[in-house]
Every structure is written in C-alpha cells, then in structure tokens.
Structure 1
C-alpha cells in the first residue's frame, strides 16, 4: 500500500519470508538501473577505511535491529531500575496490550518511549499514534524527539485543513483520510474524539497506539445487576482504535478512581476477552487479596507461626488449591516441600490475571531515600494597601455576579465561565496583566485563545477533556460581556487600577530577589506565572531594578531552537539568573541544575503546582534541598482557599500525585467559593474543607484497593531492581559509535563532510575532559539521502553530557544522521567485498606479539548469520586464519570489537601490488572459516530459536483468545436476535386478525392497528437483516482467523542463513 514517508512515496512490500517492510519508490528504481554497475564495482579492492567502515556499519545495524534491549543506552535517559524492568516486560511481549499504572513521577512516558524506539529499531513498528491531553501534546513531542530522536507530527484541526487543501495528491484514499500522510502521529484527545476523526483514524492499521492520562477513557455504570453502561466519546475512541492496533498502551497513574468499573473498562480496551462480564471481574477482584496473601505466606513459609500456617492451609483449601480431604498435618508438611510450593505458586500466578494486563510501581518501593530531595517551602505574604484590596473586592464581586448569571454548575456556559475565571486569575496574578486585558477587551473565548495560547492550552483544554461535545458559544450569555453593555463599568475599573501608583506584589518580589542575591550572587531562579502578560511585566521591572541580572523568558510563543537557546543561557550563565516561565513553557524541560522556584501566582488546580515543582524536583537534582517561594495576597479569597487546602493535603511539601483524581476537580469547588455572592465566606470554606477531607479519604481507600489488586510476585523492591540484569545484554559503548562515525567522515578525502571536537566554547561551557562534536554535512552526502538532514550538527556521543546539555544533539543509534550514515554504508555506494589491511604489530599485546612472531599475513572472512522466523535476528562474525588454517578467535575479538581501528591498522593500500597468489591461498582457507562459523552458529542458534518460539506461541495464544472472544460475542448476539425474531413472529397477527382489522369501521382505530402491524413487519425485516449480517460476520471471522494463522505460520520460517559479507588479507607490519 502506498504511503508518504518524509515527502517521498513508499510502498509496503511482503517479502518471501512473510515479513512486511516499506521501501521508497526511488529505491525500487535504483535496483534495476544499477545492478550491473554495482556488481562490477564490488570486484574492485576497497580501501582499508572503506572496508572497515562498511564492516562497522553492518555490526551496528545488526545490533540495532536485534531483539535485545538496546535503546536504553541509545536514548537521552537517566534511567531508574524499575523503568528498565518495565521496558523488558513490554519488549518481550512483542506487541503488548497493557495498562502502565506507575505512580506520578515514575516515568511512564519514558517506559513507553523505550518500547516504541525498540519496536522501531527492530523494524516492527511503522505506524504509531500517540493520543494525549491537549496540554501535554507539545511535551510529548519534545520528550520523544529529545530523549529518543523520534520525530512525531502533531495533528490538529489546522493540520488536517492544510492537508485537505494540498493539490499534490490524487489518490482517493489519501484525499479522504489525511492521517495517511505521516507514520508517527501525535494528537490531542479533545481533537481525536471527534466522530469524524474517530472514523478516519480507525481506517488505518496501527502498530502501536498509546493513550496518556487514559483514565479519561471513561464509561459510566448505570445498572450493576444488568451491567448496562453509558459510553463517552473518549471511550468510544479507545474502543475503536483498540480494534485496529496491534499494541495498545494505556498510561494512567489512577486506573481505579471511584469505582472498580473504571478499571474493568480499561481492561476491556486492552484485553476484551479477559472477562465475560463486569460481575465476573468483580468475583475475580474479590479473590485477589487472598491470592496475594497466599503469595506472601508461601514465599516465607518458614517464618510463619503455627496459627498463620494453619490459616494459609485453610485458605488454600477454600480456594481449591489443595485437596480438602487431606489432613491438616499432611497439608502442612506438603507446604514445606519446595517443589510442591512451587507448583501452587504457578497456579496462583495463573489466577492472578491482572498482572498480565497491568504494571504498577510505587515510589516507596522503587525509589531510594537518597534520591528524595527535601522541599523547603516559604510563604511570601503580600500585604496590599486598603486601596488595592478595595478595588480587588469590587471587581471580584462584579465578576462573581456575571459568573453566576452564566448558569448553574450543570448547564453553565463553559466558554463564558472560563473567560470570567481567567479575569479573576489575572486580577491576582498582576495588576499590569489585568489592565492589559481590559485595554485589549480580552473578553471572548476566541480572543483569549489568540492573545495567550499558553494559558488557553493549559487551562481550557484541560477543562474540556471530558466534555461530550465541542463548546458552542451561547451568544445571549456572551453578550453579558459585550463592549456595549459593559463598557462603562470596565472603563471605571480600568481607571481605578491605573490610578494606583504602586504594586505591592511586584515590590515584594523585587525585595525577595534582592535578599537572595545578597546570599548568593550566582543563584539561578525559576519564576512561574500563568500569564504571558505577567511574564513580560516581570521582565521589565526586574531588568529596571537589577540591570546586572541575566533574565530569560520561556513560554509557548518561542520556537524549539529559541527554547534550546534559553535553557543553555540559563544553565551556563555565571550571573544571578532568572528564568521567567509559563506553565506550558516549562513542560517537558528538566531544570535539575536549579534549586529555587518562585510561584508568583498559584494555579487553582494543585496538580499544575506539582508539575511546576517537578521540573526541579527529580532524579539528578544537584541540591539536597529545593526552595519553593509561594506568593499570597493577604485578604483575598484565593489565599484563604489555598491555605485551607494546604492544611489538608500539604500541597508543597510532598508529591501529591496519588490525589490526582480529586485534585483535578477541586478547582471547580474553588470557583464556587471565589464567585460566591450569598453564603458567608468562612461557612463556604469550612464546607470546602469537609469535602476535601472526604475526597482525600476516598482517594486513599482507592489507592489501598488498587494495591490489593496488584501486589504480586512481579512487584519489585528497589534492592532487587538494582540487581536486575538489564544491562547484561547491552554491548554497545558510545565511543565505539564515535570511532565509526569519525572513520566514515575521514574516507574519500572527506567528501561526505567533516567532524571536529570542540573543547572550549563561550557558547557551551565545558569542564576538563568534556568535549562536544561538530559535524558538517557535504552537499554530496545530502544528495544521496532521502531523509531531511541539516547541514550542521552540534552534539555529543557521551550519554552523561547529553543528559546535562539537553539543547545539543545526542548522537546515538536512532538519530537521523547516524541512521543515514549506516544506510549509506550498507548500500552499494560503498565498496567492501574485499580489501588488504595492514595490521601494526606494535598495537597488539605482548601475548599476541609472541604468538605471531613468525607470521606475516592472515586471511579475514566476515560472515553474517541471519535467522528468519517470527522474529528476525542477525549477527556478524569475523574469522581470522593463517596460511595453515589455524583460527585466531581471540585476536579477531580484540581487533574487531568496535575500538578505534586506526590504533590497529595502517590505512595505506599498495594499489599497484598484485594479490592473486594471496587470493588463491585465501580461497583454500574458506571451507575452514565456514566450518568455524557453523560451530559458532550452533551455540547462538538455540537461544534465538527459544526466543522466537516464545514470542510466536505468545502471539498465537493472544490471537486465539481474541478470536474465541469475538466468536462468542457474535454467537451470543445471533442467539439473542433469533429469540427476538421468534418473539416478534409470535406477536404477528394472523390473516384472520388482519381481515378483522381491515373491516373496522372506526378509521382512527383501524389506522392505529395497521400502523402497529406495519412497524412489526419492519422490525422483523430489520432483525432478519441483522441475523444475516451477523452470520456473515461469523463466517468472515472464521476465514480471517484461518488466514491469520496461515500468515503467522508462513512468516515463522525458522531458517538460518549464513552469508559471506566480505573477505580480506591482513598483512602484519612492524
């Protein structure tokens, strides 16, 4: 099927081994035109550099496309052990369908990103869709690009319109569905749930679909006994895409919020076949705490007292794990047998179905105390003048009046309510921001969207995340804020505010900055505000008061490169540095090098506050303490409410992620208090306090309930995680990749470009021993590539430095430049079939020198062993022999291990010398080399077959379960329809009855009876049609399943192929 990839047409091709790949149109053309020419070129002797560069490219490609976990060292990550564990669990499942439910702050995005990159590197995932809340779209794009070198395209209404306007495509499918244009797509949940887009997205077969904040995919249980429910548009989107994707990941820290039906609904998305009904799930759920207790007791049976052992036996009997007729003593003795206990544990694990669908890690289990920073919270209470307080109260009451006129909580005009709330927040953010809003008449939803997109994206889109329809402007209520009706009163407010010559809040900020400067003139501080107008206002007053300070702005209005530059300036500055940031500006960025944060205004949603603090409070923070300054205005209702909330849940001192289900809704309660006109303030706040306490208690209960469901033998403690052998399989070192790229750019008189080390730079302050890499790409290289490359890159191959400097490129496998270089090296544009290499004896160890003292030359054979099965695996093996056929395995490992080849080889080839006699000798040694490879293959073969068969069997079981579930569902539907048809037929009047109806004199009664009969006939016709359709679906399902099994079997060839890639002569020189 044709697809546009990177601006070029590509095709999905089914290979003889059953594997699907995509190739560019230009690649198909090249194959026919250059075969003969390339064949002749390969007969030439390759230069040593060209030969060795091609060898290294083959090694890196085989490594990158292998089924080992390798992307954790090829991504800009500071990994925690539990993330390595989750990445392994996902990757070993091939195409997992899982709920990732780690607590807030444990890196679910990173876990999903590692899995995505792994699947891309293995050539198993070409179409990937990320659906996230609107306020997180840019953050996800940044994380995927910055951490994993994966470029996702953001799709929204503007993007779709732009693609529809394009006149360059004629294909009718492309014309109807713009989502065919890109393979890696990210879009907001609010955008994707539009029924029109649900239909378009479902037309595409996706390899991986990821939902972030998946608890928004919600169904509501209407009747527990019948299992009837109401489905939201969000859930419909999830259900529809679940059917069209191989892998489905649902990310949520709170899969269980208020009712177990929420968790059941998410499981239905990933594995609809798991439970027949909600009642079956409930029966299963109620047994899990007992199963977990058995896991715990059986694991430490020797430590239990007599009473605990007896209770364990009783529980095993009740759940039918041991024979009820066996005596108590005999049962106790059997549990002391390790093998018997093991059998019971295996049975228990099979019963613990939830661990197959859901992964959850808790901070207390996986994060060591040494990673937890102390939060030092300081309150800055601003005392406004009476004049400031009076105008604040006057405006608040005015806004409250209009807010309450916009409707009650159930039918409030969402847009108008949002505008009023924004004005109230502006009022307490800064006088200047509020004045600018009045001056611009920022009084409609659309103008707010244009004037401050940062705030709009962060607040309004979150407000509408669970709305069932797009906001429709209520023109009548919008007129409450029209210029004509409100011009006089708004002008009055403007004049009063403008007349106040001072701003107590900004003066308090300047005073605080002065005190901090006196203590440390090199301090770095991030000041957060919700509004761009406040951002620019603060910049002006700080610059005026402290001209020597370094001040930078960080908000959504600056582009990607500007953001990189701002982070770099802020981090590298030796002055007292201030970074002014909006909520959106700071998302996705990590500021571990900064320890001070000022909340100039406080968001009403406490989770936004936690996100701000999380930019600094994360693993890698250099300071033991993080200082958080919070600005409050004495006498305002906002201060009273947030103080009350802080008393209940300690907003600033510790992570509040587990309270997310209630905190996201608390801002609605805050609005009711702030815009309250009638009930006394303190009465409202007391009511608010009681409500918060009840909600916190409920959230804690749900947390414990979730723990009971999920804690099993697959839960990992920090100690055991630290010993997890994830890194055992990772062989690649970043200096090996650097050596390969350096050799590539030194070939052919540097015709492909140049590479430099940067040790000193005013732009990038570097410590002793640190250096950056500058790579310049030639026009010649750019012409040879299909991918869109830059002319110049500045970055590093060093993972530690890449983490430190997020604004520079991280050169690793998966980076577009590195991938383009490997692709070019593997093509026929580079020679590499045969070469003559000159090995420097002095570069070898004493042991090798002694062993090789009487040898002048070797023969080198480089083989590729490839396994083609349900998975594809390959390995590159270099074999070195002397003239007598003796094998030098250790020498080959020592030289061809990815080290700097220039330390072993001279790169001067004597092109005039004739090597025919050496080539004849080399050919004689080929069978011996081949035999060596066959022996090595047998050692490798067993592991690969085991891995292949495990993945194949798991996938086959998964497909079979899904087939049985679908068949069962359709069969049940067919039986129900047949019963319904039978009932309707019984209701059909006889011919005699119809004649009687026709003879009725009362025309009204007659028409009513005939209409009823007609409706009955239509119902029967529809049911018959539905029965026929369901039967057809059952037949189709049967054929589809047979085809699927055949395709899987066809793909699973389980064949090994050995191919000689290249050969050479190695001459030893002193």
Structure 2
C-alpha cells in the first residue's frame, strides 16, 4: 500500500488535468487530496488510490507556486515529506539558491515519460503506438463535440427528447419542469439530462426522489439506457450504514442515489441528512403529488422538496399533468423551481393572461393564416419592431416570442398531438361467460382477481380466460409477437406453464421474482425475430421501464384498479417508434365486476382507444360511486354514472384543448434545432471508427472477442490479456456498436465512447504508458538508409475544472511534430496518413539497438520538438480565450436582453455565467504541453 503523509504531492492517474495535488488529510482507510489550481478536492481509498507520487530527481526542473523555474541539486525526506535544495540563474548571471518544501511546488507539472521510456529501451509495438495516437484523437474530438453526454445513451433519435436534453443538459444548475404527456418519454429526457450533467461535470452528485413503486424502474432505466449505477436507499440500507458508523451521513456514501419520497417524509433525521449531503441535482418524479395552496401551504411531500430545492442548485420536476390539477397546483411546482420569480399567485395569473395573448399571436405566425393589420400591430407592440408577412420574418418573430414567453425556459410540455407519429390503438374486447363458481359478492379484490387467492393454479381449471388465451394464440395471433400483462407473478407462472408445456407455444416470462439477468434474457428471447418467443408474459413490473414496441398486440389478462397503471401497461407498446396500430385484447367475464371495470375504462374514461389526460382526475372524483357499482351490480344506475362521467370528460377535454399553449409546445421542441441534433447524432453513428478501433485494440492486447452474425460481439477477458484496469467483468459481456441493435437487444451493452468499458480503455491509454513509444522502419527511396526521423505527439492541457470544458475552445488539442535527423521541421510537409503505408514493424531487439546507438540525436530532436510545441501555445491561448469568451458572451448577452421581457431569467444564472467565463479565460492563459507519444523512424530501402 502506498504511504501517505500530509504535505506530499501526488498526481491523479485518471485526471491529470487537475494538476499537482497535495495531501491534506489521511486516516486509516482514505486520503484527501487538494488540487489547488482546479480548486477541487478528491477523497480516495488508500488501498487502491489511482495516484502517482511525484518526486523530482537531481538535475530535474520544477516550478514553485509563483511559476519560477528551479533546478534540483539535492533533496531529503523528513516525516515522509520531501525538502528540495534548488538553484536558478538570475538575469544578472548570479545563482540563487534556496530550500523548497514540496508543499510549495506549483500545481502545473510536465512529465516526459515517453522519452524516459524510450531511452530506457521500453519500446512498444507499432500497433499499440497507432492505437494510442488514434485514441488521443478520438478523445480530443469528443471534447469538442457539442453533443457530449448525449452520444452514449441507449435511446432512439427522437427529436423532442434530444432537443430537451440538449437545451437543459448544457445549463449549469438547471431548474425545469418536464411535463410531456404519457408515452413521450419524460424519464428518458431526465436520464439524458442527468447523463449529460455527469459527463460534462456540471453535476457530480444526484438525488432522485420517486414513489416506492417506481424506484426499481428508475434504477433499471438509468443502468440500461445510460450506464449509470444508482443506489436505492431504503430504511434497511440507511440503518445498516448508520449502524456501522453512527457519525456518518448515509447520503454521503454514494454519488448517485434513488430514494422514496416517503422515506424522508416519515423520517426527519434522514430528511435532514439528505439536505446536508451536498447534492448538485435533485430529480422528482410524479411531481403532481406535491400539493400546495396559498391558504394552507404545502403537504408533507411538497415541504420536503421545497427544503431540498433551497439547498440543491439543480432541480428537475417530472409530471404528465402540469395544469390539470388546477392552476394553483401548477404555480406551486413552478414556485419550487424559482421562488423569487414565482412569489405571488395573483401576479402569476396576470402574467399568464398576457402570455395567453402572446401564444394566440404565435399560433397565427405558425399557421398559413395571413397577418392582418391587427396582428401586425400586436406583434409590433410585443417585439418593438414591424413584422412583414414573409416566411423569414415570421420565423424570426416566432423565436423572439419563444424566448420572451413567461415559462418557456423552465417548462417543457410536449403533447402527442404536437409530436404526432403515433399509429393509434384499438380495443378488442373478449366477453366471456362466467362460470357458476365465480364470486359475484364479497370484497372487490375477490371479485376482480380471484385467481390470486389460489397460488397453486387450481383456478385455471374453471377460468374461461385460459381457454380463450390458448385459442387466440393458436389462431388469430399465431404469427404475431404478443405481450401479456397480469397483476402478479404466480398468475404469470401458471399461465406460462400451460402455454409452454400443454400447448407448445414459445414463451418467455418477466416478473419480480426473477433476477435482472433472467429478465434481460427473457426480453432478448422475446425480441428475436426468428425462433424467438411468441408471447412474453409479464407481471405488473412488465409495465415499468421496458419498451416492446416491436410488438403491437397487448393482452390485458386482468385490469388494474388505477388508470395510470393501465396507461403504463398500454404505454409499453404505444410509444414513439411504434409502427403499427396497437391491438389491446381485453378478456372479461360478463355480469361481473370485471365487465363493469372494463366499461368504466372503455366508455367513461375512453382510455383504451386514446390516451386520457383526464382519467386519473375523473376516477379520483368518482371513486366512491365507482367502488359501489363494482361491488354490486346496480343495473341502470351504472349507466347513469357512465353518462355523467362521459359528459365531464368531454367538457374537460374541450377545456384542455382550448387551453393548449402551442407556443409552449413549439418551444419544447423547436423543429429545426431538433432535426439538426438528430442529424448530427445520425452522422456520428454512421461515421464512428470505434468498432474497427476496438477490434484492433482487443486483437493486440489478447482480449477475447467473438463477432456474431446478428451485429453483436461477445467480449471476455483472457489469461493472456496484456492490459489491466479495464471495466470488464470476468464473465465478459455481449455488446453492440449499433444504436438500432441496442434498442432491440437490451441484454447487449451499447458501446460508445461514453460507455464505461470504452472509457476505461481510453483512460488506460491516456494515463498509462500503453503505446507511448515505438521504433519503426520507414521504407523510402527518397531518404538515405539509416537516417532517423523523430515524431512526437503532445497534448495541450489547461488546469481548470472539468465543467468549464475549456479545451473545446482550442483550434487543436493535439500537436504533432516530425523532425528529420538534422532538425528540419517536416510536420506540415508530411502528414501521418502519407507516412502510414510506408511504416513497418521493427522487432524489439533491433529497436533497442537503434535507440542505444542514436540516443543523442533522439534527445536533441525531442527537446527541439518540445520547444516547437511550446511555441504554438501563445497563438493557441489567444484563439482559445477569444473563442471561449465569445461563446459565453453570446449566451450572457442573450439572457441579459431577455431578462427585460422574461422574468424567468434568474440574475444568479447570469452572474454564474460571467464568473465561469472569467475562470475559463484565465485557465486558457496557462496552457502547457504534455508529451504523449514518441516514435523513431529508421529509413530503409523498400
């Protein structure tokens, strides 16, 4: 184990851009390192800290904290900390000597490891050198990619989801309300934002609060779609942590946490600890359960989120019903996001009335309707300038109105009508004769789901739904993929047993008693087009977190008690990307509570044929009457109830349609911007070189891989593997590089530059010596045999917080220098692609002999290359600072201007951007070059 002492200087192997760190605290298990230049602190486990101890040897050059260069003459160690005796030559020619504790060494550091390795005859094979250079280029391109953080998600290229992710994910401390209708992917949007915030270091610690029933769904979505490992915190886990260390805050033990809202509502101590834990981003699902009124204040859940939102900079609230529970409730959620902006309900109502007028004008602009004189007058009053009835000016006016719209920056609301692309759905009822043994009285559970009381499966002998299921699968749906959902796992297991063993139907199961791997395998078997399962039988968990839109037939073996759960079931198939009309098959027993429940959903709520935004509200309003009619057949009274609910539903739907804010919907997905994002991702997918890169990497490092005909690859570690530190499980993994395949095969990892395995490969190459040296033969008639050329690759670095992404402002992040033996600079004359066909591998013994014989030339040319690389820095600094300031200034100016019209622009947001602009520009003024790879080329006859 490495020995640590306070004051020692260490370098992070995985984050060298942090600069040189100093040990500030050591205990039995961990060490804390402060990185002064980037103003960040890291805590590492002592047993496996990815740190390198920095020790300067005699004659080495080091810099103190003022940036002054000194040469080491000698050094000594006291209590684990080094004291250097250094000297420098003054401009007068005199020498100045002093003693410099290592605590006073500057945070910027340059390491010439490639040269050291080469001169020590540690020469890598040519394949590794080529891989290192290609990896550096790929990483530099990723740093410059504006879609960083979005590329690696296992999601379809759906415009409105990508637009919201791009718009919100790039903000610092975003505070927004995601309010898309059911089936449009709010969880995916939130996941994309979380992923982008983490990958760009805008956030490091995330807390997701959800109802109990959704914890597992969120964990699966984050893992499967975004490769994010969230820990579920419940009472058992928090108690175990506190039992081990009573002084420890449980919420400080993980970076990304999912917890139940009720956990903290019911336990004040956990609530306080979550507030004190220092999260960067809070995500709250089902936010419509956060109730508030001016007279009574908030309910327990609302008060909890309000306390957390006061301390946590970024907040995402998710709800499918932004205004359906009343404008007061809608205002309450906006108030959580920005209590200063939304401080008074009356003022909010007044502003909403004005914005309603703005939205009406925008609707005219977005239509083909010509602008009347009154329209032009209204637009001139809103925008301050005259608008001509021309396409370009109408388009520009729409975007000006969007920017000024009251809740446009913090509320995103996409509707199915606005997005379109949904084929629709049809209800296929299957009324069946109830057996005489069927319960017509008693508790509602016994009438609706009597099979759950007979876990031995005896109910199947008399239940007519079983024979109906066998018939429909053998005949009507014989060639179709079918998803069946029932309430419980035992019912699913009993049905699967009959279908597979007695009817010979290919089946797969998916329920809560199965492991995650078993569920993945079942989903993959169901997804197989040829010889895959005809039917996937799911318990209620099957309506959460998985998409099976390659199927279009859904069997609801029973009906849930909650319309939201029913919509979740249907939403497994009725989603963006579905190409066929959904066929919803509903067997029920006539004259029973099942039939009355079917009629309630079908006639009153109209939930089978259309998504019903009013369903949950209506059921809550009529729940007492509904329960009475379900328990007992009250004849015509039930028909009267259905008619009353139908009238209320239709009135609510008209009200919602009239209240649609098309300006807000347009702002939630600006089509042109969204299509550009889709195109950029599509182009990236089509042109990625990652599959070939990884094939060469795994071949050269003895990692086992087996390419399959279906577009997947099986990757496994081997006993002969030549690299370490990769995120690759001992059992290996099935993976794909292709987005379309990843959408279907959830058991296959989706490999991109943002996948943990690929990131570990890139990190290993960047932080270890892999491929940093090479000696190769250059077959050429134009160069005298035996002549050597030296090629050195340098990486440009700036010590700055990762979130600033300052390197993206540089015109280049890599500098290649190619020098002839006599020192001629050939960098611009001879491109690497020109050289590559003429370079050939040289065996290790010959390589070592050449390095030994030409050591002096190699060192001279290396030092010359270093000087040339440093010579590029002033121009790079100037261009980088100019680009960086211009980028931030555009957004600052835009927000300052918009703040005159749109009070949802927060002053602290503008001030934060100004501070970041200043910090980044200062960091770009301190660029340095780090040698990454060196190659000696020896000319030989072809």
Q: Is the TM value for this pair above 0.5?
A: yes
Q: Per the alignment, do residues 709 and 1045 of structure 1 end up closer, same or farther by CA in structure 2, a change over 3 Å counting?
A: closer
Superposed CA deviations along residues 923-949 of structure 1, whole A, max 9, x for unmatched, are 445555555676566555533333345
Please point out which of 52, 57, 61 is paired with 1:31: 52
The equivalent of 2:417 in structure 1 is 364
What SS does the aligned partner of 1:774 have? strand
Q: Per the alignment, do residues 587 and 886 of structure 1 end up closer, same or farther by CA in structure 2, a change over 3 Å counting?
A: same
Superposed CA deviations along residues 959-981 of structure 1, whole A, max 9, x for unmatched, are 999x99999xxxxxxxxxxxxxx
Please point out which of 445, 449, 453 is paired with 1:422: 445
What SS does the aligned partner of 1:392 have? coil
Counterpart CA distance in 1 for 2:874 and 2:834 is: 21
The equivalent of 1:1007 in structure 2 is none
| Greater Cα offset, 194-203 or 855-864 | 855-864
Counterpart CA distance in 2 for 1:911 and 1:89 is: 54
How does the TM-score come out when normalised to structure 2?
A: 0.78
The equivalent of 1:690 in structure 2 is 644
Contact conserved, 1:525 with 1:598, CA < 8 A, in 2? yes
Contact conserved, 1:209 with 1:245, CA < 8 A, in 2? yes
Superposed CA deviations along residues 571-592 of structure 1, whole A, max 9, x for unmatched, are 3361663322112134212223
Q: Per the alignment, do residues 1058 and 201 of structure 1 end up closer, same or farther by CA in structure 2, a change over 3 Å counting?
A: same
Superposed CA deviations along residues 377-412 of structure 1, whole A, max 9, x for unmatched, are 322111124x23xx422xx2x32xxxxxxxxxxxxx
* 1:640 equivalenced with 2:582 (yes/no): no
What SS does the aligned partner of 1:250 have? strand
Counterpart CA distance in 2 for 1:729 and 1:865 is: 29
Q: Per the alignment, do residues 190 and 695 of structure 1 end up closer, same or farther by CA in structure 2, a change over 3 Å counting?
A: farther
Superposed CA deviations along residues 691-734 of structure 1, whole A, max 9, x for unmatched, are 3431452255245425267256x354657743457617985878
The equivalent of 1:502 in structure 2 is 462
What SS does the aligned partner of 2:537 have? strand
1:690-839 paired onto structure 2 within 5 Å = 690-702=644-656, 704-707=658-661, 710-711=664-665, 714-716=667-669, 721-724=674-677, 727=680, 736-747=689-700, 750=701, 754-759=703-708, 766-767=709-710, 770-776=711-717, 784=725, 789-827=729-767, 829-830=768-769, 834-838=773-777
1:484-523 paired onto structure 2 within 5 Å = 502-516=462-476, 519-520=478-479, 523=480
| Greater Cα offset, 248-257 or 155-164 | 155-164
1:16 Cα shift? 1.6
Q: Per the alignment, do residues 890 and 757 of structure 1 end up closer, same or farther by CA in structure 2, a change over 3 Å counting?
A: farther
Counterpart CA distance in 2 for 1:891 and 1:805 is: 45
Q: Per the alignment, do residues 757 and 218 of structure 1 end up closer, same or farther by CA in structure 2, a change over 3 Å counting?
A: same
Contact conserved, 2:605 with 2:649, CA < 8 A, in 1? no
What SS does the aligned partner of 2:454 have? helix
Q: Per the alignment, do residues 720 and 129 of structure 1 end up closer, same or farther by CA in structure 2, a change over 3 Å counting?
A: closer
1:530 Cα shift? 0.8
1:805 Cα shift? 1.2
Q: Per the alignment, do residues 705 and 779 of structure 1 end up closer, same or farther by CA in structure 2, a change over 3 Å counting?
A: farther
* 1:104 equivalenced with 2:182 (yes/no): yes
Counterpart CA distance in 2 for 1:922 and 1:511 is: 79
Count of residue pairs the alignment pairs up: 843
Q: Per the alignment, do residues 778 and 156 of structure 1 end up closer, same or farther by CA in structure 2, a change over 3 Å counting?
A: farther
| Greater Cα offset, 866-875 or 273-282 | 866-875
* 1:373 equivalenced with 2:423 (yes/no): yes
Q: Per the alignment, do residues 204 and 65 of structure 1 end up closer, same or farther by CA in structure 2, a change over 3 Å counting?
A: farther
What SS does the aligned partner of 2:796 have? strand
Contact conserved, 1:755 with 1:775, CA < 8 A, in 2? yes
The equivalent of 1:258 in structure 2 is 325
* 1:163 equivalenced with 2:241 (yes/no): yes
The equivalent of 1:392 in structure 2 is 439
Q: Per the alignment, do residues 956 and 185 of structure 1 end up closer, same or farther by CA in structure 2, a change over 3 Å counting?
A: farther
Please point out which of 113, 116, 126 is paired with 2:204: 126
* 1:193 equivalenced with 2:262 (yes/no): no
Counterpart CA distance in 2 for 1:3 and 1:180 is: 19
The answer to which structure has the higher helix fraction is: 1
1:245 Cα shift? 1.4
Please point out which of 38, 50, 65 is paired with 1:17: 38
Contact conserved, 2:775 with 2:935, CA < 8 A, in 1? yes
The equivalent of 1:609 in structure 2 is 566
How does the TM-score come out when normalised to structure 1?
A: 0.69
1:129 Cα shift? 0.9
* 1:212 equivalenced with 2:285 (yes/no): yes
* 1:871 equivalenced with 2:871 (yes/no): no
What SS does the aligned partner of 1:526 have? strand
1:313 Cα shift? 1.5
1:1061 Cα shift? 2.2
The equivalent of 1:309 in structure 2 is 373
Superposed CA deviations along residues 889-919 of structure 1, whole A, max 9, x for unmatched, are 59647589xxxx9997647452221333355
Counterpart CA distance in 2 for 1:561 and 1:919 is: 55
* 1:143 equivalenced with 2:97 (yes/no): no
* 1:152 equivalenced with 2:230 (yes/no): yes
Counterpart CA distance in 2 for 1:112 and 1:373 is: 25
Structure 1 unaligned regions, length at least 5: 222-226, 323-330, 400-420, 440-496, 760-765, 842-848, 968-1036
1:862 Cα shift? 2.1
Q: Per the alignment, do residues 530 and 732 of structure 1 end up closer, same or farther by CA in structure 2, a change over 3 Å counting?
A: closer
* RMSD after superposition: 4.6
Contact conserved, 2:279 with 2:312, CA < 8 A, in 1? yes
1:183 Cα shift? 0.9
The equivalent of 2:791 in structure 1 is 860
1:341 Cα shift? 9.1
Q: Per the alignment, do residues 665 and 180 of structure 1 end up closer, same or farther by CA in structure 2, a change over 3 Å counting?
A: farther
The equivalent of 1:525 in structure 2 is 482
1:296 Cα shift? 4.8
Counterpart CA distance in 2 for 1:601 and 1:814 is: 41
1:661 Cα shift? 4.4
Counterpart CA distance in 2 for 1:699 and 1:259 is: 14
The equivalent of 2:315 in structure 1 is 248
Counterpart CA distance in 2 for 1:852 and 1:82 is: 58
* 1:184 equivalenced with 2:256 (yes/no): yes
The equivalent of 1:551 in structure 2 is 507
The equivalent of 1:353 in structure 2 is 406
Counterpart CA distance in 1 for 2:897 and 2:233 is: 35
Structure 2 unaligned regions, length at least 5: 1-21, 59-110
Please point out which of 909, 916, 922 is paired with 1:1053: 922
1:534 Cα shift? 1.7
The equivalent of 1:540 in structure 2 is 497
Contact conserved, 1:570 with 1:577, CA < 8 A, in 2? yes
What SS does the aligned partner of 2:216 have? helix
Contact conserved, 1:163 with 1:178, CA < 8 A, in 2? yes
Contact conserved, 2:794 with 2:929, CA < 8 A, in 1? yes
Contact conserved, 1:18 with 1:1051, CA < 8 A, in 2? no
1:758 Cα shift? 3.0
Contact conserved, 1:527 with 1:599, CA < 8 A, in 2? yes
Counterpart CA distance in 2 for 1:732 and 1:930 is: 35
Counterpart CA distance in 1 for 2:33 and 2:308 is: 21
Counterpart CA distance in 2 for 1:348 and 1:955 is: 14
Counterpart CA distance in 2 for 1:503 and 1:3 is: 71
Contact conserved, 2:410 with 2:904, CA < 8 A, in 1? no
1:839 Cα shift? 6.2
The structure whose Rg is larger is 1
